Chain A
């Protein structure tokens, strides 16, 4: 269905409960503004080809909008890559849109860095992991603090493939992400880590769907957020296990650390299980910083700000602990440390 034919989703759909479509749309909901390109670049030998973006919106208004808005569209084919690949996505202007497709047939480590100062940026990332392919994917959002950001991702995993997916979300003013992974083949697995550090009046809404369509599939999601100022973080997860997808193993953990009186956090980890021989669990926790930990660090000479920063760093580091790819883990932790040190110096 085309964007203009779609009704505005109601807030009873939890995907749109906290960030309704009109709040993330760049202008008015009946408008599709002409979008500038998000410029994708890569320093390595891999080629970014220009392609037609996917026309499958899955009935989702955000995907349909990104298709209608146009923008740039690139594809990269990956086989066995010895070195990590860094793709830079640069956005500028009033409204910028980019589509990126990764076709993975071997083992690869890819980092996507998005930066720039547009008023609004939309990004649609799709990926196919062929049988036995392994991808470690790191997404680093370093957009300007006044930018509105809409991000959709769709990953299809074939037999015995694995995806390790890490997100560091520290940029943008109002962010809405809808990240979907389909485990379509036996033995496929996804490990997903999301780290959010929000301050000021930043609003960050992360929705993660993982669908176990086949048996003997695995998923593991960890989402940690640290919210200060007036910031608001929303983490929603939908984990489905289809009928007959026995021996699936799925877990979701959502943790929120609230650093100020006015910070808010919502956690909605949902499960839909239609098979009986599975292991599915989720947990969510929300709490302030432990005063004993603060006291311990301050008694060793750290200022309150430094002590808090150390605790936040440790807490956010922990979100990446389910990753097994060392290059991915180290890069994400380095980026996080740099971000927190910059924050401390402000």
Chain B
């Protein structure tokens, strides 16, 4: 690694990159032909090609969002992005068979070690497609399907056709249209009725090439009475030019099912992270989004839940850290579409070194949904005078029997708390670090331990030099 590169990377420990060694690389830019070529290359059924083309046309027609950080959004040059890059000719089931350069990357990220210790299954996606995939045999025997999305489409086309785009149609927004047009990779997970997957399954997403667009598509279906915890992590090298990550994640929790989806997003600060995540919760189902946003240049992500069946419950816990040059525009949306549905949203953010964090949320109760309850809490810390914090919550209440509350506060770290810790022997930096870790604690305690430890380390790195 050169000194120049190290300068760009700074403290970002995943900022290394490997020499690009692609087997297929599309020219930069997007056209209908590119969309058709991706579909043809993957040998997809005609219906999927049609969906892609339809989505591409919608993407072309749709204007950029007129809200949020329009200046940054408008600076995305869709013509300078590579929309498909294949690094390996197949998805390996044995770690030893993964190409050495890619394997080295994931070794450095600790993926094989994590898999051996505590995962029920793992997918590793490098650029556009999965390069490694495995699932524990006992889960496979119980009928759990855990595949990368391309294999899912090949092996279970009827299930994919039934659910693909039902939660997030291509016309939902400009970036869901883009994803539907050029999607590649992602996870396909199906949990049969009554099966409880005790250990989390994980996907790891890595962008390595410059000006790369990663458009993974994830579909998780938890059948009646089942449960699963899915964890995803993301990193990319720090280049001086920008990359785009625009994923679509659809979750379907059938009656009585439970899905927890945890994310620790740690993209490097040259990545636009524009993701659409939405879940449908049927009768008595529970969906939990646990969402941590540490990296990226601009993140716009609002995990949503459609509470469609009576008694369904949604839980969203999110944290965001906005450092120098970063804008974390995150939040949550919950739509109470059925009676006696409940939701909790907890959002915490920290802005530092000129960073900007925004909470943008929606809580909707439709006229026919009686007896709904919801609570939203947003807390923000601003650590210096150059930084900024915004809160944009929306409550749309269409039913008089609902009980909803929202509260938010923005403040700096309390001098009393700092003084208390320093009077017990901590220096100011350590005291500040403890307070920040404590501030994020409601989030980290919901993560698997390894992720929580990793997140705390990342925060410590980000907080270095925050005093004085």
Binds B, one of A174-182, A270-278, A338-346: A270-278
Binds B, one of A19-27, A91-99, A285-293: A285-293
**A283–B408 CB distance below 8 A:** yes
Binds A, one of B90-98, B151-159, B382-390, B428-436: B382-390
| Residue ID in chain B nearest A262 by CB atoms | B367
Is B6 interfacial (CB 8 A cutoff)?
no
**B409–A281 CB distance below 8 A:** yes
Q: A269 to B412, alpha carbons, bound, how many Å?
A: 20
Is B404 interfacial (CB 8 A cutoff)?
yes
Distance in Å from the Cβ of A297 to the closest Cβ of chain B?
19
Is A265 interfacial (CB 8 A cutoff)?
yes
Of the candidates B384, B402, B411, the one whose C-beta lies within 8 Å of that of A286 is: B402
**A282–B400 CB distance below 8 A:** no
Q: Mark B392-415, 1 if CB is under 8 A from A, else 0.
A: 111111111111111111111000
Which B residues are CB-close (under 8 A) to A262?
367
**A286–B392 CB distance below 8 A:** no
Which A residues are CB-close (under 8 A) to B408?
269, 271, 281-283
Known A-B contacts A12-B66, A273-B380, A278-B411; the reply to A284 vs B389 at CB < 8 A is: no
Q: A225 to B430, alpha carbons, bound, how many Å?
A: 47
Which A residues are CB-close (under 8 A) to B396?
264, 266
Is A246 interfacial (CB 8 A cutoff)?
yes
Known A-B contacts A266-B397, A271-B391, A276-B387; the reply to A283 vs B65 at CB < 8 A is: no
Which B residues are CB-close (under 8 A) to A59?
none
Distance in Å from the Cβ of A225 to the closest Cβ of chain B?
11
**A286–B395 CB distance below 8 A:** yes
Is A256 interfacial (CB 8 A cutoff)?
yes
**B400–A272 CB distance below 8 A:** no
**A283–B412 CB distance below 8 A:** no
Which B residues are CB-close (under 8 A) to A284?
393, 395, 404-407
**B67–A12 CB distance below 8 A:** yes
Q: A29 to B455, alpha carbons, bound, how many Å?
A: 53
Q: A288 to B397, alpha carbons, bound, how many Å?
A: 11
- Interface size, A (range): 35 or more
Q: A267 to B408, alpha carbons, bound, how many Å?
A: 13
**B410–A270 CB distance below 8 A:** no
Q: A122 to B395, alpha carbons, bound, how many Å?
A: 28
Distance in Å from the Cβ of B451 to the closest Cβ of chain A?
29
Is A258 interfacial (CB 8 A cutoff)?
yes
**B393–A243 CB distance below 8 A:** no
Is A156 interfacial (CB 8 A cutoff)?
no
Known A-B contacts A273-B410, A280-B409; the reply to A243 vs B385 at CB < 8 A is: yes
Is A261 interfacial (CB 8 A cutoff)?
yes
Known A-B contacts A273-B388, A280-B411, A283-B406; the reply to A258 vs B400 at CB < 8 A is: yes
Distance in Å from the Cβ of B49 to the closest Cβ of chain A?
33
Q: A261 to B370, alpha carbons, bound, how many Å?
A: 9
Distance in Å from the Cβ of A153 to the closest Cβ of chain B?
23
| Residue ID in chain A nearest B383 by CB atoms | A276
**B395–A270 CB distance below 8 A:** no
Q: A12 to B73, alpha carbons, bound, how many Å?
A: 16
Q: A278 to B381, alpha carbons, bound, how many Å?
A: 10
Known A-B contacts A246-B385, A276-B385, A287-B402; the reply to A269 vs B397 at CB < 8 A is: no
| Residue ID in chain A nearest B390 by CB atoms | A272
Which A residues are CB-close (under 8 A) to B409?
279-281
**B406–A267 CB distance below 8 A:** yes
Is A268 interfacial (CB 8 A cutoff)?
yes
Is A259 interfacial (CB 8 A cutoff)?
yes
Q: A278 to B385, alpha carbons, bound, how many Å?
A: 10
Most buried by B among A12, A256, A286, A287: A286
Distance in Å from the Cβ of B360 to the closest Cβ of chain A?
9
Distance in Å from the Cβ of A198 to the closest Cβ of chain B?
13
Which A residues are CB-close (under 8 A) to B66?
10, 12-13
Of the candidates A246, A270, A283, the one whose C-beta lies within 8 Å of that of B392 is: A270
**B398–A264 CB distance below 8 A:** yes
**B397–A258 CB distance below 8 A:** yes
Q: A99 to B77, alpha carbons, bound, how many Å?
A: 47
Distance in Å from the Cβ of A319 to the closest Cβ of chain B?
17
Q: A270 to B395, alpha carbons, bound, how many Å?
A: 11
Q: A246 to B382, alpha carbons, bound, how many Å?
A: 12
**A287–B404 CB distance below 8 A:** yes
| Residue ID in chain A nearest B65 by CB atoms | A12
**A288–B401 CB distance below 8 A:** yes
Q: A205 to B407, alpha carbons, bound, how many Å?
A: 21
Known A-B contacts A276-B412, A280-B410, A281-B409; the reply to A260 vs B400 at CB < 8 A is: yes
Distance in Å from the Cβ of A18 to the closest Cβ of chain B?
9
Which A residues are CB-close (under 8 A) to B393?
267-270, 284
Which B residues are CB-close (under 8 A) to A131?
none
Which A residues are CB-close (under 8 A) to B67?
12-13
Listed A/B pairs (30) with beta-carbon separation below 8 Å:
A14-B392, A14-B394, A243-B385, A244-B385, A246-B385, A256-B397, A258-B399, A259-B400, A261-B399, A261-B400, A264-B367, A264-B396, A266-B395, A271-B390, A271-B410, A273-B380, A273-B389, A273-B390, A277-B385, A278-B382, A278-B411, A278-B412, A279-B411, A281-B407, A283-B405, A283-B408, A285-B404, A286-B397, A286-B402, A287-B402
B residues near A, CB below 8 A?
65-67, 367, 380, 382-412
A residues near B, CB below 8 A?
10, 12-14, 243-244, 246, 256, 258-288
**6 tightest CB-CB pairs across the interface, nearest first?**
A258-B400, A271-B391, A284-B406, A276-B382, A281-B409, A280-B410
